[in-house]
Amino acid sequence: MTQDFREGTLNYPLEMAGALEPPAEWAELRDKCPVAGIRLPSGDEASLLTRYDDVRLVLSDPRCTRRMDADDAARISENDSGGVFNDSMAESINSAGQARWRRMLTKWFTAKRMTALRPGIEAMTHQLIDGMVEGAAGDGTADLKANVGFPLPVWVICDLLGVPDTDRDRFARWSDMLLNLTRYGQSEIDAAKAEFHVYLAEHLETKRAEPGDDLLSALITAVDPDGGRLTDDQLVATGQALLVAGHETTANMIGKMMAMLLADRGRWEHLVADRSLVRPAVEEVLRFDANPGFGMPRYVNEDIEVSGTVLPRGTTVVCSMAAANRDEAAFDGADAMTLDRRPNAHLAFGAGPHSCLGQSLARTELQTVLDVLLDRLPTLELAVPADELRRVEGLVVGGLRELPVRW
């Protein structure tokens, strides 16, 4: 049900109009209430930002931190693990000095490296499509999310960490357990975390003895300008962080991308006819995604003014990048999908010093999946009406439960 901000605090997350449709409140909030009072699932209160300039400012401003464990920071949910927002992995990485850790990893994610990874990602996509085609149901339908969208990013992360193909399924399970806070009990989640930790610690020893051409091998020997190296704990935490940050996000984005492109047949046919649109189309689906999940919370560490409102120290703000990406002040015809939109400075990967470290890899995966599907299955179509697609219920990453297709 649509909520009216004039009647007080809004319950957050806002209800979506459909799996691909934005909440009805966004436009009015951007227009009339750019700093809106919200109540989080935990019952705590926070402020919601929906304007492009405000979201960009807060994500980039050092006065707004990720200290979601501060005593007076709002709790997101009642679940004590708090999901990806405050976790021991982040702590371990922070102890390495966030900026220093980022520099060491960013060095590896170069354009040259992404070009080198592409043939491997293409081969994995072909293999997964083969499996989907062979395993299609009697009526010729299959779930594109389960067959391609979900496994591909795990396979890519296993490759990044130099993990053998035979352990891909274990990684998929760990990822599922670490992010699905509602489906598993705390003791199961803790057990999975411990098992994953032991696996990575042992794997690290193997890599130290026999380094490969992977990111983990590179990080083991990487030395920063001050002569420092990452400790074993920090290397293990990095492996965990890459899986947590890079799996569900990309898996769900593959599903949503294909749903958005197939929901309007004209879009898909346009791409089949003009492959030069693949790159800008990927940026446009990232911008247009109305169902990316919670948004990014920040803890205000020093008073800051946003759209004329002072947010005092101690405020928790939630930045809705998806609402900002539909802001007419930043994008002409923001509520229309324009496959060749350029420029397209969307905020799907955040902004500022914490923006997505794996964005070049995510882009490479999305572009490759789209290219290979256009080659292999140009007759691809949704097997259910777009308005019957169901959202994933959960707090952290938004997505579709399944994506039934035929070809």
- Which residue, 294 or 407, has its beta carbon nearer to ligand HEM? 294
Residue 358 within binding range of ligand HEM, rule CB under 6 A: yes
Pairing of strands 45-49, 35-39: antiparallel
Cis peptide bond prior to 34, omega within 30° of 0: no
Show the site string, 248-267: x = touches ligand HEM by CB under 6 A, - = not: -xx--x--------------
Q: How far apart are CA 24 and CA 203, in angstroms?
A: 48
Residues touching ligand HEM, count (CB under 6 A):
22
> Angle at the Cα of 112 (from 277 to 211), degrees rounded to 5?
135
Residue 65 within binding range of ligand HEM, rule CB under 6 A: no
Instruction: Please provide residue 69's backbone torsions phi and psi, each rounded to the nearest 5 degrees.
Output: -95, 5
In whole angstroms, the minimum distance from the beta carbon of 241 to ligand HEM comes to 5
Residue 356 within binding range of ligand HEM, rule CB under 6 A: yes
Given a contact cutoff of 8 angstroms between Cβ atoms, the answer to whether 331 and 287 are in contact is yes
Residue nearest to ligand HEM (CB): 358
Identified binder of ligand HEM from the candidate list 152, 296, 339, 396, rule CB under 6 A = 296
In whole angstroms, the minimum distance from the beta carbon of 66 to ligand HEM comes to 6
In whole angstroms, the minimum distance from the beta carbon of 348 to ligand HEM comes to 5
Given a contact cutoff of 8 angstroms between Cβ atoms, the answer to whether 304 and 58 are in contact is yes
Residue 242 within binding range of ligand HEM, rule CB under 6 A: yes
Mark the segment that binds ligand HEM (CB under 6 A) among 7-15, 48-56, 74-82, 355-363.
355-363
Mark the segment that binds ligand HEM (CB under 6 A) among 197-205, 206-214, 335-343, 350-358.
350-358
Residues 362-381 that bind ligand HEM (CB under 6 A): 362
DSSP 8-state secondary structure symbol assigned to residue 116 = H
Residue 239 within binding range of ligand HEM, rule CB under 6 A: no
Identified binder of ligand HEM from the candidate list 57, 163, 245, 400, rule CB under 6 A = 245
Residue 349 within binding range of ligand HEM, rule CB under 6 A: yes
Q: How far apart are CA 86 and CA 171, in angstroms?
A: 21
In whole angstroms, the minimum distance from the beta carbon of 252 to ligand HEM comes to 8
Residue 230 within binding range of ligand HEM, rule CB under 6 A: no
Given a contact cutoff of 8 angstroms between Cβ atoms, the answer to whether 405 and 383 are in contact is yes
Residue 66 within binding range of ligand HEM, rule CB under 6 A: yes
Sequence-ordered strand ranges (E) for 146-217: none
Identified binder of ligand HEM from the candidate list 348, 372, 374, 392, rule CB under 6 A = 348
Q: Which residues of 274-313 are buried (b: 16+ CB within 10 A; e: fewer)?
A: eeebbbbbbbbbbbbbbbbbbbbbbbbbeebebeeeebee
Residues 156-195 that bind ligand HEM (CB under 6 A): 157
The contacts of residue 284 (CB under 8 Å, 6+ apart) are 337, 338, 339, 341, 344
Identified binder of ligand HEM from the candidate list 29, 55, 59, 142, rule CB under 6 A = 59
Which residue(s) pair with 400 in the sheet?
Answer: 391
The contacts of residue 133 (CB under 8 Å, 6+ apart) are 142
The number of helix segments (H) and strand segments (E) in the chain equals: 16, 11
Which residues in this chain contact ligand HEM in the complex, by CB under 6 A?
A: 59, 66, 102, 157, 241-242, 245-246, 249-250, 253, 296, 348-350, 354-358, 361-362
